[in-house]
């Protein structure tokens, strides 16, 4: 390895970086593990299952004879038992969850504390009539009661449905209805940049909007400073837990294929779709990748900065690290409050070993300046990770140098809500890293890039990223092509990618109609209809535009009804409606008004052209347009922004 790869290689994108030797020496997974794993598919996955404690160990690794693929088909286990109880013997006094609240307060749950509260809340859920297979909706920010409630659900076999706290009442009602959920756990409110957000009001409204009757609402007292009026059907979390003080609830035995949770994600349709993850395959895959890719060890303090409301928070803040008996940090605040060095201060103060974040956060750190991380002692860090979108080589190098001090490997992990856990990444103690490229498919994972006809393309050629063998973390009802036992069974991922001669996958971005807004995946149709519903708006088109720093900004192009052009307040009403139907986090970065959207003669909206206009690209042939004159108008409207 070069003495100083950063200085030696500079900021080029194609340079390969060897993992630092001190890391390699202590890594959970080495070359021989990888070779052994690669040699025996699907048997290799038994190793992932072996990281868990099964009530009935699994005989078979995979069953492809039914109408869907089943992993560890005869195994039985309980996820909460695996994430809590089994660690008591060795680490009951070790921190399981270290929480840092919005106002600097901290709370630590040892594994024993977690055991008690999970049991007590599980008993409380039972007292409210919740049994195995009843769906419980959880609508909370980053407070410890959220993972506690998830594990309490898992303990009694009730799938949870975590809804991101930033979603609006309407979005919450829709997700409760779709999941058929009768019980909601929320909080009175929380602080966002110093202001109290009244979460319970949103929950109250969702209860009114939902078609499904929401019979009970449990409310966590987060604000603590006022008496919250709880009416009929409302229960105070602390009182419920106190009422069940000391309760112990036998973990409910689940089949490997029983649903652990449902999570809603945006896809190609205008509606969010529910992805249901399994108990055995999902947890095994989450634990295995936390072990092999994030290199977690029980005595690590680990920080995943994702919100639990998204899949990354489920898998790599809660289930993966707790399955391995690690200390997982939960941070309620934002990265630049009270100061822009907040993240580095927390890493230093808590001696964080492994830090997992998103490229969008890294780009913000870069903007705020290297002085912030440079001013802190980050030497506790051993490994860094990224997830959520491609990381450009410059951001990769900044992260490597200023956060990792050239001593920590970076794992650029590719996966999706649908995959449950990481599928593509370097194995940090084994593979060299190529900044800008996620890495090879993990051992046990087969992926290829195909063209429109489904044929694999030559190396370095762009196409559709396709996973060609099942993996344990696959959800129930995966939209896969082919019968479960077909040789050519495959899952087409909705991502464009290319693969180089060494098998490294570079992800180019989504090919479906989804956009990333503040790091969260949203459907263009969800956003477009939230805008088009506003009085005075005729049509809306959403496009994601790359910004020079490697990020992207969501542009909304809005055509207005006659007479509404330039009417005061339209922009504000659009923002308000996006906030009402989806949530304020989803507001587009740029809104451009235009008399018409560019359409082909057959009436098809040309999003591509809008994207080119917005990113200042050379425009191709616009002769297919029915209204070519509109291009100039949109360009000048955009200039006025």
- Residues in touch with ligand 6R9 (CB under 6 A): 265, 310-312, 387-390, 412-417, 438, 494-495, 507, 510, 521
Nearer to ligand 6R9 among residue 319 and residue 415 (C-beta): 415
User: Among residues 70 and 417, whose Cβ is nearest to ligand 6R9?
Assistant: 417
- DSSP codes of every residue in 423-446: -B---TTTSPB-TTS-BSBPTT--
Q: Which two tokens stand for residue 152?
A: 């309490």
**Residue whose CB is less far from ligand 6R9, 345 or 446:** 446
- Nearer Cβ to ligand 6R9, position 207 or 520? 520
Helices marked H in 337-441 — which ranges? Answer: 342-350, 359-368, 371-374, 393-398
- Report the candidate in 399, 425, 387 with the shortest Cα–Cα distance to residue 295: 425
What is the C-alpha separation between 71 and 61, in angstroms, rounded? Answer: 6
Residue 415 CB, nearest approach to ligand 6R9 (Å): 5
Give the H or E element holding residue 208.
helix 199-209
Question: Measured between alpha carbons, how far is residue 339 from residues 335, 373, 393 in Å?
Answer: 8, 12, 27
Q: Which is nearer to ligand 6R9, 255 or 412 (CB)?
A: 412
Dihedral angle, C-alpha 43, 44, 48, 50, nearest 10 °: 60
Closest CB 610 distance from ligand 6R9, rounded Å: 20
Phi first, then psi, for residue 310 (nearest 5°) are -115, 170
Least CB distance from residue 92 to ligand 6R9, whole Å?
A: 32
Rounded-to-integer distance, Cα 129 and Cα 329, Å = 32
In the bound state with ligand 6R9, the residue whose beta carbon lies nearer, of 72 and 415, is 415
* Contact between 137 and 125 (Cβ < 8 Å): no
Minimum gap (Å) between residue 450 Cβ and ligand 6R9: 16
Least Å distance, CB 583 to ligand 6R9, is 15
Helix 145-156 to helix 111-127 angle, to the nearest 10 degrees? 60
As a whole number of Å, the CA-based R_g of the chain is: 24
Give 73 or 472: the residue with its C-beta nearer to ligand 6R9.
Answer: 472
Phi, psi of 262 (to 5 degrees): -120, 145
CB of 521 to ligand 6R9, least distance (A): 4
**Least distance between ligand 6R9 and beta carbon 493 (Å):** 6
Question: Rounded CA gap, 29 and 48, in Å?
Answer: 12
Q: In whole angstroms, how close is the CB of 262 to ligand 6R9 at the nearest point?
A: 14
d(CA 316, CA 302): 10
Question: What's the angle, vertex CA 289, arms to CA 286 and CA 295, rounded to 5?
Answer: 125
Strand 491-499 with 505-510, pairing: antiparallel
Nearer to ligand 6R9, 222 or 314 (CB): 314
Closer residue to ligand 6R9 (CB): 123 or 287: 287
Joined together, the tokens standing for residue 317 give 């803040």
User: For 228, which DSSP code?
Assistant: P
Report the DSSP beta bridge partners of residue 216: 183
Give the nearer residue to ligand 6R9 in terms of CB position, either 278 or 386: 386
CB closer to ligand 6R9, 186 vs 416: 416
CB neighbours of residue 502 within 10 Å: 13
| 533 touches 570 (CB < 8 A) | no
Residue 639 main-chain phi, psi, to 5 deg: -60, -30
Least distance to ligand 6R9 from the beta carbon of 263, Å? Answer: 9
Distance of alpha carbon 617 from alpha carbon 628, whole angstroms: 16
Between 54 and 414, name the residue whose CB sits nearer to ligand 6R9.
Answer: 414
Q: Which residues are CB-neighbours of 349 under 8 A, at least 6 positions away? A: none
Q: Phi, psi (5° rounding) for residue 325?
A: 80, 25
Q: Are 326 and 458 in contact (CB under 8 A)?
A: no
Least Å distance between CB 510 and ligand 6R9? 5
Q: For ligand 6R9, which is the closer residue by CB, 314 or 382?
A: 314
Q: Which residues contact 320 (CB under 8 A, 6 or more apart)?
A: 286, 287, 289, 290, 294, 296, 421
Count of C-beta atoms within a 10 Å radius of residue 103: 10
We find the least distance from the C-beta atom of residue 466 to ligand 6R9, in angstroms, to be 12
Q: Write the CA distances from 367 to 340, 550, 595, integer angstroms.
A: 10, 12, 36
| Closer residue to ligand 6R9 in complex, CB, 259/544 | 544
């Amino acid at each position: 390895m070069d003495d100083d790869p950063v200085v030696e290689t500079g900021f080029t994108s194609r340079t390969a970086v060897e993992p630092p030797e001190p890391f390699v020496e202590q890594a959970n997974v080495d070359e021989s593990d990888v070779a052994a794993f690669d040699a025996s598919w699907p048997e290799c996955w038994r190793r992932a299952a072996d990281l868990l404690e099964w009530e009935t160990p699994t005989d078979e690794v995979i069953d492809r004879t039914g109408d869907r693929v089943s992993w560890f088909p005869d195994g039985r286990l309980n996820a909460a038992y695996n994430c809590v109880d089994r660690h008591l013997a060795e680490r009951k006094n070790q921190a399981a969850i270290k929480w840092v609240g919005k106002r600097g307060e901290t709370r630590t749950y040892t594994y024993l504390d977690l055991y008690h509260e999970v049991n007590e809340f599980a008993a409380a859920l039972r007292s409210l009539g919740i049994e195995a297979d009843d769906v419980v909706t959880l609508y909370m920010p980053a407070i410890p009661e959220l993972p506690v409630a998830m594990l309490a659900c898992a303990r009694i076999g009730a799938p949870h449905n975590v809804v991101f706290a930033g979603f609006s009442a309407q979005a919450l009602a829709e997700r409760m209805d779709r999941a058929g959920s009768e019980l909601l756990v929320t909080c009175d409110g929380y602080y966002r940049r110093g202001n109290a957000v009244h979460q319970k009001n949103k929950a109250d409204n969702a209860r009114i909007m939902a078609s499904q009757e929401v019979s009970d609402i449990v409310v966590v007292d987060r604000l603590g400073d006022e008496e919250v009026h709880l009416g009929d059907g409302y229960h105070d979390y602390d009182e419920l837990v106190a009422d069940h003080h000391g309760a112990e609830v036998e973990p409910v035995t689940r089949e490997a294929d029983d649903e652990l949770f449902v999570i809603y994600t945006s896809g190609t349709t205008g509606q969010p779709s529910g992805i249901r993850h399994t108990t055995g395959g999902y947890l095994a895959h989450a634990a295995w990748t936390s072990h092999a890719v994030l290199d977690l060890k029980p005595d690590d303090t680990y920080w995943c900065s994702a919100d639990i409301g998204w899949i990354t928070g489920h898998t790599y803040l809660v289930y993966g690290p707790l399955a391995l008996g690690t200390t997982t940090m939960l941070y309620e605040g934002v990265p630049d409050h009270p100061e822009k060095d907040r993240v580095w201060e927390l890493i230093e103060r808590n001696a964080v070993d492994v830090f997992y974040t998103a490229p969008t956060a890294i780009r913000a750190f870069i903007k705020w300046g290297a002085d912030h991380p440079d001013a802190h002692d980050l030497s506790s860090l051993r490994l860094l990770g990224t997830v959520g979108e491609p990381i450009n080589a410059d951001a990769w190098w900044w992260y490597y140098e200023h956060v990792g001090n050239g001593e920590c490997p970076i794992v650029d992990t590719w996966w999706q809500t649908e995959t449950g856990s990481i599928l593509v990444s370097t194995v940090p103690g084994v593979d060299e890293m190529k900044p800008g490229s996620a890495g090879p498919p993990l051992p046990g994972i087969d992926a290829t890039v195909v063209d429109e006809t489904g044929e694999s393309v030559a190396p370095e050629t762009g196409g559709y990223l396709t996973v060609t063998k099942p993996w344990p973390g696959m959800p129930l009802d995966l939209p896969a092509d082919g019968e479960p036992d077909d040789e050519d069974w495959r899952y087409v991922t909705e991502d464009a990618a290319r693969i180089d001669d060494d098998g490294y996958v570079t992800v180019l971005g989504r090919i479906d109609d989804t956009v990333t807004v503040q790091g969260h995946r949203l459907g263009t149709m969800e956003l477009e209809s939230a805008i088009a519903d506003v009085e005075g708006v005729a049509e809306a088109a959403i496009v994601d535009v790359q910004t020079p720093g490697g990020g992207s900004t969501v542009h909304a192009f809005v055509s207005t009804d006659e007479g509404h052009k330039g009417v005061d307040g339209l922009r504000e009403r659009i923002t308000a409606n996006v906030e009402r139907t989806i949530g304020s986090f989803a507001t587009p970065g740029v809104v451009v008004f235009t008399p018409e959207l560019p359409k082909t003669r057959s009436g098809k909206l040309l999003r591509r052209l809008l994207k080119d206009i917005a990113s200042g690209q050379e425009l191709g042939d616009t002769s297919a347009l029915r209204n070519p004159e509109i291009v100039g108008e949109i360009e000048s409207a955009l200039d006025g922004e």
